[in-house]
Amino acid sequence: MRVGYRVTLGILTVMILITMTIGTSYSFYSVSDEQENPNSLATTCFKIEFKDGQDDINITNAYPMDDDKALQGTPHTFTIHNTCTRENSAEGINYKIILSSLKLDGEDVSKDLTSQIKYKLVENGDVVGTTGTKLSEANLYNDLPENIKSTHNIDKSYLLKDSGILNFDETKTYKLYLWINSEAGNEVMTNKFKGKIIIYADI
């Protein structure tokens, strides 16, 4: 057998052995495993307090009035507070303020005053939006969960403040004025409005 042929055969043999060794070692040392327990992901702080001295908003025995006179009345006041602290909250809570009109069960739909209601929202002394806007002209908010709608007997929801941020340990006080449009006629007599303020928050 020629020397060159033997050298070539020897090299091929060595390469085959190396390849087999690598393949066997990979099969031997490659292992797989499955995680037995699930991972847990939780926010460190997500809580908002809503303090309101009144129940549902009711407008009864009211009469049409101009904006200036309406703003001399007593507003519906509520306070929201972010209970998070600097230690457990890196970012503030995003929130929306929604005023929902409630269904007048057992009564004629035409008795609903919503289309004649005007409003003004004041945040810590500053006016939010335009004073004297009709509630029916505010943007509708259609993303409330169905369970909230059914629990509170909600008819329609209006977005009074579409974007706000409440930082850790921050408190904001709001005053909501509601009144009947001065241009409303006698047809609104005996009509009613019943509503509820909803704070919708996320982070």
pLDDT tens, residue by residue, 96-116: 999 988 887 766 666 778 888
16 assigned to some structural domain: no
11 assigned to some structural domain: no
Encoded amino acid at 151, one letter: T
Backbone phi, then psi, for 11, in 5-degree steps? -65, -45
Per the structure, how many domains does the chain have? 1
190 assigned to some structural domain: yes
Structure tokens at 82: 């972010």
Q: How far is residue 133's CA from residue 125's CA, in Å, rounded to a whole number? A: 18
**60 falls in which pLDDT band (50, 70, 90)?**
low
Query: Is 0.75 topped by the overall pTM?
Result: no
pLDDT tens, residue by residue, 11-34: 666 566 555 554 544 444 444 455
User: Which CATH number belongs to the domain containing residue 60 in this structure?
Assistant: 2.60.120
- For residues 66-91, b (16+ Cβ closer than 10 Å) or e, as one string? eeeebbeeebbebebbbebeeeebee
26 assigned to some structural domain: no
C-alpha distances out from residue 26 to 14, 19, 29, 31, Å: 18, 11, 5, 9
Encoded amino acid at 158, one letter: Y
24 assigned to some structural domain: no
Domain hosting residue 148, numbered range: 48-202
DSSP, res 140 = B
Within 10 angstroms of residue 45's Cβ, the number of other Cβ atoms is: 15
1 assigned to some structural domain: no
DSSP, res 183 = T
72 assigned to some structural domain: yes
* Residue bearing the bigger pLDDT, 142 or 6: 142
Averaged pLDDT score across all residues of the chain: 74
Encoded amino acid at 31, one letter: V
9-13, 46-50, 117-121, range with greatest mean pLDDT? 117-121
In the predicted model, what is the mean pLDDT of residues 91-97? Answer: 85
Position 55 scores a pLDDT of 62
Owner of token pair 């070692």:
25
What percentage of residues in the chain have a pLDDT greater than 70? 65
> Does pLDDT of 61 surpass 50?
yes
14 assigned to some structural domain: no
Encoded amino acid at 112, one letter: D
Q: How far is residue 174's CA from residue 112's CA, in Å, rounded to a whole number? A: 25
